[in-house]
Every structure is written in C-alpha cells, then in structure tokens.
Structure 1
Amino acid sequence: MAYPAEGGRRPRFWATARAALWTSASALLPGLAHLRAGKRAAGAGILGGFLLLATAAGAAFYQLRSDLSWQAWLAAQPYWVEAVAIGAVALATLWSSIIIRSWQLTRPRPERWGSRAVGAVLVTVLCTALIVPFAFVVRTAVTLHSTLTSVLAPAEPASQAAADTPWPHRSHINVLLLGGDAGDNRYGLRTDTMIVANIDIDSGDTVLISVPRNLENVPFPEGTALAERYPEPYGFDDLLNEVYQTVAEEPEELAINPDAPDPAADTLKHVIGHALGISIDYYALVDLRGFADLIDAIGGVVVPVEEPIRYGRRGEGLLEPGERRMSGKEALWYSRSRTDSDDYARMGRQGCLLKYVAEQTNPVTVLRRFDELADATQRTLTSDIPPSHLPALVDLARRVSQARMHTLQLSPPQVTTAHPDWTEIRTLVDRAIRSNGEDHGPADTAKQPSPSPDSPGRQIGKKPVSLDRLCP
C-alpha cells in the first residue's frame, strides 16, 4: 500500500511517530506492519508462523523447566547443541529482517533526513534488543555442552548407550568422590578425600562411606600390575592416598586400563572397590584447589560452627562459632583443617559439608550462577560418567537432596588404619549398604552412638549414623 506525500494537514512528525509505533509493535508481534501496509498474505503468514513457533516454544519450556533429566540429556547431545545454535542464529536473522522491512513499509514518503535518522536508530535498538537474548541462548548452550564434555567421560558408541535406565534390576549404585590436593608447591596429587556414596535408586537415601587417607597395606585386585608389584600379605608399601600418584607416574605399566581418560582415577576406583568388597560405578575427582571456586560459584554454603576451628599451617586462621555463610576458602578450610584435631575429625566435617551443599543447592541457584559454576566445574571436576547416564543421575541427585544421609567412617575405633582387617572392613561396608534405604523408624537416631566431643560429623560405632544427628 503506497502512502501519499505528507502535507501540512498531516505533519511529518506524526507520520514518523506512527511508523515507529508500528515497527515497534512488529518487533513484538511480527507481521503487524505488513498487515497495516496491506500485505495481508505475507502479514498473516508471518504472524501465524510466529504464534505457532511461540506456542511450541512455550510448551517445550513448560515441559522442560522442571525436568532436569531431560535438560541434561539434551545438553549432552552435540547435535542438539548445534541445532539450538543454528536455529537461534537463523531465527534472530529472520526476525531482524522483519523489523527492518516493517520500517520500510510504514515509513513516511518521501523520507527525509529526520525520519531516516529515527528509522536507523529505532531499527538498530530493536534488532540489538532482539539479538541479545538469542546470543545468550547460543552462548549458554555452547558453554553447557563444553562443560559436560570436559567433565564427563567420552561418549560411548550408540550400541552401548543406556536405554531407559543405566541400572536395570539394581537397587543401589556406588559413586566414589575423590578430593585431590595438587598444588603449585607440591609434587603430584594425593587423594586425601575418598568417600564412597552408596545411593538407594528408588528413595535417594545415601550412606557416605568415608575411607581414611592413611589406610596401609591396601590389597589390589588379583591379576593386576599393582598386585604383582605389591603382593600380599603386605600389599602397598605406602598410604592409600598415594595410589593415585603411583599409577599416574607409570600409567602404561600400572593402570588397570591405560586407555581410560584418567588411568590413575580409574585404577583407584577399582582398587577401593576391591578393598571394600563392592563394585563402584563411577568416580568424580575434584581438585581441592578449585573446590573453593565451586562453593563460591553457588554463592557460598551456610554451615553451623559449634566450636572454633583453627586452620592454616600455623593455625593462624580461625572459623568463629555460629551459623555463617562460608565462602569457598572458608568451606575448604572447614573440610580440610587438622589443626588442633586429626584426620578423622576432618573426615566428619567433610560428610557434614556434603550434606549442607546437597541441601542448599537447587536448580534456581545453578541457573542464577550458571557462568561461574560452569567455569569452575571445567577447571576442577572430572569423572568417568558416560553422557548417556547423565539424565538418570541428575534425576537421582534430586532425590538425594531430599533424602536421608548416613555415614560410616572406616576410622578408629572401627578400623585400625596401620594394620587394617580387610575382612572386617568388608563386613562393615556390606552391613551398611544392606541397611541403606531401610525404614528404621523414629527410634533409629535414639540407638545411635554419640559423636565425639567437638567433632561435627564424627561417627563412632560399627553402624551407619544419621548425618542429621551428627552434624550441627
């Protein structure tokens, strides 16, 4: 539809304002300016397509917003990431073209320098406002996929990928949580934190089996290079926390699977599983130098401190009593300090910290601090979790955060670390796993032994103890 030249009866100012209004409206509902200009077929097609696309996007968002397992599955698929990126770029380009065309159809004629300037500024602002969210979508999709690629194991062949569940006919899974102490002033990496999380698949109830770093004479699986180099009855001639570095120095000679992404962590998973008499499904290794970054990325963690906790090489730092939101550095020291305490008090605090983090981390927190969390995760966390298992694990993690947590610490007086009785240790672990998920009823905590004085999370006795009881 052509517009006559504007005369005095219709001031050019109002014609320009009208064109700006229709162009802005078309940025929200594409096709309106086309309809106004008499381009009915084009306008109806554009508007109908937009409404159809918006409805589909809204339905998809509604379905996915509360289904983290589907979100995780999509993020782990490279073709979905590529499709999102290409689709976002194409849609942003098409939408921007419609905005430009909307101005061209509604602008006053003949167009003078004033209306041309208004049109240029308006179109630039509208297109920029439109492109920014699409750019954010592309960046988020790429960052998420990059993070998962760096953290997870390489994708397995399609024939090996899990179907509905990666654990058919299973009631529990075991995940080995490792904390490494690599540092600029230290050689190699020692796994000072070793916790096996036995998780009930249906309920999410979890038993944290804490393995001391100073266990000696660890047995190795029969037929492995480690078993040949360190034969029983004495086994390994160093502490358990040195196994990782020992294998890392000679992966081709000592690793159970030298082709694994991290042969040392993979071997340690099998070694601890053999020593405890269980099969461990996955490991997750966190570099403790970056653990503080992960805590900072989720905005800190609220920890009740009942007694002063000194930290630092000379005890120069102090965590004062009281309920406080700890920074990453403070949380690291809370879980690492042995000043005025010992390895076993530290193990207790580590179990409490895992409980606090699980309770306080939620999808809203993750989304709000996505960039910081993704960056910290890429730098500090590795695992052997296959991408196809991620949706089931995300769904399971949600149940864990709302379920019961118990702890069994394989430390004195339960275990003599210098001369451990591995048969007795396997019996303790087997009993703890068999009891996980059972409904102990309200009398459960009343029968539990008391924690050690001034040692939050410290478990004593041969049965798992509720962390709700042990942690402040």
Structure 2
Amino acid sequence: MTRRAWWLVVLNFVLPGSAQVLAGNRRLGRFGLRTTFALIAFAVVVGVAFTLWPAVVLTVFTNSIGLWVAAALLVFLGVVWSILTLDTLRLVRLVRAGPRARPVIAAFTTVLMVGVVGAAGYGAYLATTTSGLLSSVFVAGPTEPPVDGRYNILLLGGDAGPDRDGLRPDSISVVSIDADTGQASMIGLPRNLEDVPFSPGPLADLYPEGYGAIDGCEVSACMLNSIYTEVELKSPEMYPDAVADGSEPGIEGMRDAAQGVTGLTIQYYVLIDMQGFSDLVDALGGVDINVDHRVPVHTDETFTEVAFWFEPGMQHMDGFHALWYARSRHDTSDYDRMVRQRQVQEAILAQASPANVLTKFQAVASAGTEVVKTDIPQGMLGHFTHLASKTKALPIQSVELIPENDVDPEDPDYDVIRSLIDAALAPPATEEPAP
C-alpha cells in the first residue's frame, strides 16, 4: 500500500488524471487526462509558432485580451490540479500505508499541490497585472510601418522642476531602429539648439526660418527644449487632435522639431518623467555605470552647491544617484550630460532583462505607470518586443552632435547635422566579390 501510494502521487504529478483512471473515478480521470493532453498540445503549438513566427506569438501575449485569456486558463488549470490532487490523497488511503511513510507522502503531495497551484495563480496574477499596465501605458490605435526600413522613436526626459512653468524636456533623443536587424542608433539632440527647423505643420508655418529666428518666440529662450513649453502653455490649439491620439500638443511640437532637425520621420514618442525615473531604477534593483570622470551630486535644485562627487570607476547607483548622474549641471556641459544620459538609458536596458523584471514585477509595474507616457499602440508591442531581443544583442550606436563634429548649438548647420545622421544610419557597405 505504501508503494501504491507513492505511485499514485507520482502519476498525479507527471500525468494528472492518470491516478483516477487507474484507481478511482474514471470519469474524473478522463477529464483530467484530456485537460493534460490539451495543455501539452497547446504548449507544443505555441512553441512551434514562436519558433516560426515569434512576433505573432508575442503580439498575442502582449495584448490585453490575450493576457486575460491566459489568466483564465491558468486559474482553470490550478482548480483542476487542486481537485485531482485532493482526490489522489483520498485514493492513496494513507491509513493503510506504512506509519513512517504517511506524513512524508502527505507532506510531499501537499508541497506539490501548493507549488503547482501557486505557480498557476502567480502566473494569472502576472497576466492580469501586465494587462492593466499595458492598458494604462500604451494606447489602442493604428500601427505605423517602418520608413526607409527604420522605426524612429522620439525619447523625451521631462523635468517639471519647482522653478519651471510646466514640464521641459531636458533629455531629447531620437532612437532609430533597423526594422530587420534591430540595430539601434541613438541620436542625442542638444537641448539648447537654436533656429530649429520644423517638418511641415503649424510650427513650420509660424517659424518658416526656424524657431525664433526672425521675431523671437513666445517664451524666454528660443531653444529646442522650450518648444514643448511654448506649444503646451501658449498655443495648444496648434495640435487639436493630440490628446485624442494619446499625445500632447507640446509633444507634437517636439516631434515636428525633431523631424526638422534630423530629417527622419518619427513614428512614435516615449516621454519619461524624470521625477519618477528614480522609482523605475530602484524597482530594477539599481544600475551599473562606468564613471569616466568626476561628476557632482548637488544639494538642491539650484545645481550649484555640491553635496559629493561620483568618483571614476564602476558604480552601482540607486534611482536617486542615477537621476543626479544623468542631470548634473555643475562643472559640466550639455554634451557631457547627453553622454551620461545615454549611459543611464543603456544601463536600464541592460538591467531590464526578462528574469529581473519578472522577479521585481510588481515594483516595476507600479513605477512604469507613473514614469512612462507613449503613443506606441498595443498592437506594436509584440513586434517591438521581438525586435528588442535583437537590439539587446547588438551594441547601441551613438550619433554625436557635438562641437567636435561641427555642431554649434548657437549657430547650427542643419545640413551638417543631417549628413552626420545619414552617415551613421547608412547600411554598411558590402564588398562585391571579385570577378
């Protein structure tokens, strides 16, 4: 009877339903076996589909409906497993097993039940929480095709400090991703660029010679990062459909400016709230940054008094220190800040591995809803997730718009800027085979 009990427990774990078919309610056993085989078949189909069409599978599991269906299936499987395991405990007839084996068998069966049912329950929790996160961050809208084989995303780091009238993007980048290879190039735009050109639209009509080039602008400083403030606070009517499309008038103004500067078509934007940025870094467990020169941390928002310095070398930073490392202004230049901001962005990408995000999911999800705003539709998440797996395997290229490359923010030559970008994004030349 002891050996019989162990066999039934093991069979229930390896092939749920088989214990009932052999020694109990065969109707219940057949139901359990059908459920088990259906689960195995489903896993095989998903595995084959993921091998052949990974973007399709990822699209299903980054969709709110798909996630809720997955959660329902996991709850169903957890309930079925619980019923089968409890019935198996009845079938083993512990009172007829050896006295020493009884508690061991009971404990082992209970641990298996709690482990499997707990895993199914946690999986359902992750699916529903992810669905809520995706619905709150990503919009339901049409997808955009790549332009010239690339996806271009405007990345804004917004900073609404106490001394500012509204939010002002201090970190402005365009991430250009090859739609086939996933190779990403990060173009950092100096926030103090002047005479900024615009792509066709209301701002191009208002400033045909560039932002503030003729009669000034509506804010105190006619620089690139002031465009958001002017449009958002002074003339939001320029972009009447922005909010309905999951954006903001100020963001659309920045998109037109970034397109005018780079000559690229920008399909999507991502706005990161720098005030909540530190929560995301903390949720990921911090980031590792290789500091190449001393960088100060300030005592307050005036960016003048130094509390302490980051010393050169590898540093593990929490959210507070990573934020100050990225935004420090004292004894530094905007170009230094751009380099540091890219360092932090790349460090976050490296830290945000699937395993790390999964183990810290609740904190990351809570931080994500407070930190990120974007118009990337849910329908693109599967494709972008698949593309991101390729991106992480490749080094991120940087396009340096700095004085050493003939970029003067006070008197910029936008033809030079576009030529630098075109050269960086051009596909590598391939040598033709000798005749």
* TM-score bracket for this pair, using the shorter chain length: 0.7 to 0.9
Shift of 1:280: 1.2
Is this contact kept in 2: 1:33–1:106, CA < 8 A?
Answer: no
**Distance change >3 Å, CA 62–CA 316, structure 1 → 2:** farther
Residue matched to 2:289: 303
Cα deviations across residues 127-180 of structure 1 (Å, max 9, x unaligned)?
54443212211111112222222222x222xxx557xxx32x732232111101
Q: Per the alignment, do residues 411 and 72 of structure 1 end up closer, same or farther by CA in structure 2, a change over 3 Å counting?
A: same
Q: Which residue of 2 aligns with 1:335?
A: 326
In structure 2, the partner of 1:444 is: none
Overall identity of the aligned pairs, in %: 29
Measured in 2, the distance between the counterparts of 1:222 and 1:79 equals 38
Q: Which of the numbers 168, 187, 198 marks the counterpart of 1:190?
A: 168
Number of the residue aligned with 2:196: 218
Task: Verify: 1:265 aligned to 2:243, yes or no.
Answer: no
Give, in whole Å, the separation in 1 of the partners of 2:57 and 2:162: 37
CA distance in structure 2 between the aligned counterparts of 1:65 and 1:315, rounded to whole angstroms: 53
| Shift of residue 189, structure 1, vs aligned partner | 0.8
CA gap of 1:210–1:227, structure 2 versus 1, over 3 A, is same
Structure 1 residue aligned with 2:100:
none
Quote how far apart the aligned CAs of 1:319 are.
0.8
Q: Distance in 1 between matches of 2:55 and 2:328?
A: 36
**Larger Rg, first or second structure (1 or 2):** 1
1:31 aligns with 2:31: no
CA distance in 2, matches of 1:349, 1:276: 21
In structure 1, stretches of 5+ residues that fail to align are 1-13, 111-116, 442-472
Asked if structure 1 preserves the Cα contact closer than 8 Å seen for 2:160 and 2:168, the reply is: yes
1:57 maps to: 43
User: How does 1:24-423 map onto structure 2 within 5 Å?
Assistant: 26=12, 29-37=15-23, 39-40=25-26, 42-57=28-43, 60=46, 64=50, 69-70=55-56, 72-105=58-91, 107=93, 128-152=114-138, 154-156=139-141, 160-161=142-143, 166-167=145-146, 170-183=148-161, 186-224=164-202, 227-228=205-206, 233-234=214-215, 236=217, 237=219, 238=221, 239-249=223-233, 252-255=236-239, 257-258=241-242, 259-263=244-248, 264-312=250-298, 313=303, 314-359=305-350, 361-412=352-403, 414-418=406-410, 420-421=411-412
SS at match of 2:306: coil
Compute the displacement of 1:86 (Å): 1.9
**RMSD over aligned Cα atoms:** 3.7
Shift of 1:190: 0.6
- SS of the residue corresponding to residue 214 of structure 1 reads coil
Provide the C-alpha distance between the structure 1 equivalents of 2:283 and 2:94, rounded to a whole number of angstroms. Answer: 52
Q: Per the alignment, do residues 346 and 89 of structure 1 end up closer, same or farther by CA in structure 2, a change over 3 Å counting? A: same
- Paired residue secondary structure (1:316): strand
Contact 2:149 2:178 in 1 (8 A): yes
> Given the two structures, how large is their TM-score scaled by the length of structure 1?
0.74
Shift of 1:304: 1.7
CA distance in 1, matches of 2:308, 2:156: 25
- Matches of 2:296 and 2:324, distance apart in 1: 9
Which residue identity is paired with 1:254? M
| Distance in 2 between residues matched to 1:366 and 1:108, nearest whole Å | 42
CA gap of 1:37–1:404, structure 2 versus 1, over 3 A, is closer
The answer (yes or no) to whether the contact 1:308–1:321 under 8 Å persists in 2 is yes
Sort the Cα spacing of 1:267 and 1:142 in 2 relative to 1 into closer, same or farther, 3 A: farther
Equivalent residues of 1:178, 1:193 under 8 A apart: yes
Q: 1:61 to 1:182 in 2, by over 3 A?
A: farther
Contact residue 210 and residue 409 of structure 1 kept, 8 A: yes
Which structure 2 segments of 5+ residues have no match? 97-102, 431-435
Question: Do the aligned residues in 2 keep the contact of 1:75 with 1:145 (CA within 8 Å)?
Answer: no
Distance in 1, Cα, partners of 2:165 & 2:214: 29
1:3 aligned partner? none
Q: Is the 8 A contact 1:88 1:137 kept in 2?
A: yes
Distance 2:354 2:422 in 1: 29
Q: What residue number does 2:414 align with?
A: 425
Deviation (angstroms), 1:108: 7.6
Query: Is 1:217–1:234's contact at 8 Å kept on the other side of the alignment?
Result: no
